[in-house]
Amino acid sequence: MAFARNKLLIAAVAVVALLLPLLLQRHYVDVMVFAGLYGIAGLGVALLLGQCGIVSLGQAFFYGIGAYSSAYLCVTLGLSPIFGIVVGAALSALIAFIIGWPILRLTGFFLALATLAIGMIGGILFYEWDWLTGGTLGIGGIPTLSLFGFELNTPQRYYYFVWAIFLVAIWLSHNLVTGRAGLAMRAMRDAPPAAEALAVDMHALKTKIFVLCAVLGSLAGSLFAHYATYVSVQSFTVERSIIFLLIPVIAGAASVWGTIIGALFVALAPELLSGLGDAHQVLFGLALVLVVTLLPEGIVGLPKLVMKRFGA
């Protein structure tokens, strides 16, 4: 019964999602594209936070590596976009492995600070290595993507493309989280000594998820570069890393499907509040504080909380 109702709900959401770009103003379709892009990067952070209990404040670094790989390889070297995406992901994976292996022996706040350092150093490198990144001027003229000869050159088209990728990434993550590795990840988050006693190689597992998180960040960065057709250092600051971290925090970190809600929140809330003038940033902050303090399990936990309070 509940399952049938869920199916109906999913079908309804799918229909709305498919029709959305046709109904919304172009500006809001653009916001929805960014929700999808941020969602892909945020999903990586969600896997680290929700499954492994690791706070990452460095995701914008990998987002930047993806974006600059795509920009540099396409614009400066004139290669096909697929090279930029693949090289960015491979480079991110390699760097995440090299950095992750030593720092993932840390835990808690110390590890969070280490990831913050990665994000900050990354931001400085993007700024200083202007021969590669164009510095504050950035790199323009990045070609739009095309899929089987179909140009993804409007927000509408890109909306479908990005959200399809986001949903596939969530589905893969869902498989991961419900499978053997996911059980081991949650076990080591809940009771590390017991997980270790059951032969979970915690350090190796954390490193793998850290690499996976970086690849998702890089993919989102590449897709961003091809959508915006222009990249510059402003897009890869620690502030952006915080936005990515907010996605699982707002949605409820344990749920990979919840990243959809988190992504919509971080993309839409500032837009919807911007009509209120200068106060909108304060209001966004206030909305965040409310969600985090009132909903310990995030927005995803809201129905359960309501049922508990008002239900039988």
Partner 1 sequence: MSPAPVTAKSARLVLDVQGVAHRFGGLRVLEDVNIAAPESQIVGLIGPNGSGKTTLFNIITGFIRPRSGTVSVNGRDVAQDSIQQRSRDGLLRTFQTPKVFDHMTVLENVMMGMHAHTSSGVLATMFAMPSARRELASTRASALQTCERFGIAHLAATRAGELPAGLRRVVELARAHQAKPKLLLLDEPSSGLSGPEIDTLRGWIRVFASEGTTVLLVSHDMGLMDVCDVVNVLYFGRVIATGPMAAIRDDQKVRDAYLGAA
Q: Judge contact between 195 and 187, C-beta under 8 A.
A: yes
Binding test (CB under 8 A) with partner 1, winner from 106, 117, 183, 272: 183
Q: Please enumerate in sequence order all residues whose Cβ is within 8 A of that of 196, keeping only pairs 6 or more positions apart, or say none.
A: 188, 202
Residue 297: both structure tokens together: 């399990």
Quick check: 307 binds partner 1 (CB under 8 A)? no
**Of residues 247-286, which lie at the interface with partner 1 (CB under 8 A)?**
254
Would you say the C-alpha torsion 92, 262, 7, 156 has a positive or negative sign? negative
Amino acid present at 20: L
Residues 95-134 that bind partner 1 (CB under 8 A): none
Residues 156-175 that bind partner 1 (CB under 8 A): 172-173, 175
Residues ≥6 apart with Cβ < 8 Å to 249? 49, 262, 292, 298
Task: Answer yes or no whether residue 90 interacts with partner 1 by CB under 8 A.
Answer: no
What is d(CA 248, CA 44) in angstroms, rounded to the nearest whole number? 9
Q: How far is the CB of 251 from partner 1 (least distance, A)?
A: 16
Picking from 196, 245, 271, the residue whose alpha carbon sits closest to that of residue 54 is 245
Should residue 200 be labelled a site residue for partner 1 when binding is judged by CB under 8 A?
yes
Report d(CA 122, CA 238) in Å as an integer: 9
Token couple for 179: 């499978």
Q: How far is the CB of 194 from partner 1 (least distance, A)?
A: 4
Quote the strand ranges of 145-239, DSSP E. 146-147, 150-151
Q: What's the closest the beta carbon of residue 198 comes to partner 1, in angstroms?
A: 5
Q: Record the tokens describing residue 247, joined without a space.
A: 């996605």
Among 149, 193, 275, 277, binds partner 1 (CB under 8 A): 193
Stretches 31-39, 63-71, 108-116, 190-198: which one binds partner 1 (CB under 8 A)? 190-198
Binder among 190, 282, 290, 292 for partner 1 (CB under 8 A): 190
Judged by beta carbon, residue 71 or residue 215, the one nearer partner 1 is 215
Q: Choose one: 3-11, 75-83, 193-201, 275-283; the region binding partner 1 (CB under 8 A).
A: 193-201
The helix (H) or strand (E) run that includes residue 80 is none
Nearer to partner 1, 94 or 290 (CB): 94
Binding mask 205-244 for partner 1 (x = CB under 8 A): ---xx--x--------------------------------
Residue 13's closest CA among 167, 223, 175? 167
Q: Does 199 bind partner 1 (CB under 8 A)?
A: yes
Positions that interact with partner 1 (CB under 8 A): 172-173, 175-176, 178-184, 186-187, 189-191, 193-201, 208-209, 212, 254
